Amino acid sequence: MRLPPFLRFLDRRPEQDRLRLKGHIRVERQVKGGPIELIHDGPNFIVDTGVTGIRDILIGPNGGGFTGSIFRMAIGDGGTPPAELFNPKLPDATWPSRTQLFHEVLRQDISVFSTPTPSSMRFVGSFNSVDVDPSSFSLAAKVINEAALIIGDGILTVGGDKRQVNKTPPDSVDPDESMLSMRTFKSASFDPAEDVTITIIWTMQVATS
C-alpha cells in the first residue's frame, strides 16, 4: 500500500520505534471577524506512542487492512467540570483508552492541511458557532473546552462536512471514526447567537526523543 506523503514515516520498520509524535495545539477565538483571542497554546499528550503504535492506529499492523488517516477534528464542552469552566480536566490513567471527547459538540473535516517541515504535519480546524444546534451543548453556558483529532477509513480531503453526534436528533458518523488525540483547555464562549469562530491549529512533529 502506498502511503500519502505525510504518513511516509510509517514505512519504517518496527525496530525503529524510537520515533515519537510530539504534538502542539493552539486554540484561537474570534467574534464576527473581530480581533483574535488566544485561548490556549501548548503541548499535547496521548500522541507519544511510538511509530509502531501510531502505525497500528492509522493503517493497521504492518500496514494491512486499515487505510485510515487523520481527516476530521472535533470540539466539545465536557473538558472542564460544569461548575469550574476555567479549570481544564487533567489527564489520568483513563485517558489513554478514551475513544471520544467527554462531550462532543461538533466534528467536521479538516479545514487546512500542511507540512511545515519534512517531518511535521499541521491540521487546522475552523469551527463556527452558527453551525451548532443548541441541543448539541451539555452546558447552558454554550462553551468549548476540549478538542480531538479524528481518524477514519479514508483519505484526508479538505472540506466542510459537519456532524453533530449529540444533537436532537443526532447526526450519524461512520463506525470506523475514532479519536487519535485530545486536549482540554479553559472554556471559551461559543454561543451560536454570537457568530463565534474557534480555530484549532494542531501540529505533530516526528522526533526521536
pTM of the model: 0.85
C-alpha 9/C-alpha 6 separation (Å) is 8
Instruction: Give residue-wise pLDDT tens across range 4-58.
Output: 555 666 665 555 556 667 789 999 999 998 999 999 999 875 544 455 666 665 5
C-alpha 13/C-alpha 11 separation (Å) is 7
**pLDDT interval class at 74 (50, 70, 90):** very high
User: Per the structure block, which three cell numbers stand in for 140?
Assistant: 447552558
Closest CA to 132 of 184, 77, 84, 187: 77
Instruction: Give residue-wise pLDDT tens across range 173-199.
Output: 888 788 888 899 999 999 999 999 999
* C-alpha 145: how far from chain center: 12
Contact 130, 192 (CB under 8 A): yes
Residue in this structure with the C-alpha cell 478514551, named with its chain if needed: 98
> How high is the pLDDT of residue 42?
93
C-alpha 93/C-alpha 85 separation (Å) is 22
Residue 106 carries which side chain, given as an amino acid letter?
L
**pLDDT interval class at 63 (50, 70, 90):** low
Instruction: Give me the percent of the chain exceeding a pLDDT of 90.
Output: 48
